[in-house]
Amino acid sequence: MIRYALVCDHEHSFEAWFGSSADYDDQAARGLVECPFCGSPAVRKQIMAPAVAGTKPAPQAVMMEAMARMRRHVEANFDYVGERFPQEARDIHAGETDARPIYGEASPKEVKALVEEGVPVAPLPMGARPRPKSQVN
């Protein structure tokens, strides 16, 4: 695994993990590397200093912390739409409602249908507990 510090054309900095340098190059060439903040596919590597001395945390711990940070970011900055997620995602994708970052609930069947329709979706890592329904907008 290799971790890259990346930046998009809007100067949003973020990190991403790849199986190898060639994996990053391949995914970037196919437009699969996007900014998690604005969705821009215009992403480039930032200069990184190599980690030298010291003990390295276990890869699983590093991944778990990265997933927790991502979930906290989504919960703090995206609109929670609950079980309306599939329809809200379709409406945003079709331009029928204002574009905004959302998250919510969807069954595997609903997710498969969204992907087949070309609606961009991604799973959100599990949190400590689900958001209460009383917080649905």
Residue 94, both tokens: 């079709």
Q: 3-state class of 118 per DSSP? A: coil
pLDDT the model gives residue 129: 45
Check residues 49 and 135 and name the one with the higher pLDDT: 49
pLDDT the model gives residue 119: 96
Residue 121, both tokens: 């979706």
pLDDT the model gives residue 49: 62
CA atoms of 42 and 94, how far apart (whole Å): 23
In tens, the pLDDT along 78-98 reads 999 999 999 999 999 999 999
pLDDT the model gives residue 116: 95
In tens, the pLDDT along 51-75 reads 555 567 678 888 888 888 898 899 9
Distance from chain centroid for Cα 8: 14
Per-residue pLDDT band for 127 (boundaries 50, 70, 90) equals low
Residue 96, both tokens: 């029928």
Q: What is the mean pLDDT of the chain?
A: 85
pLDDT the model gives residue 51: 57
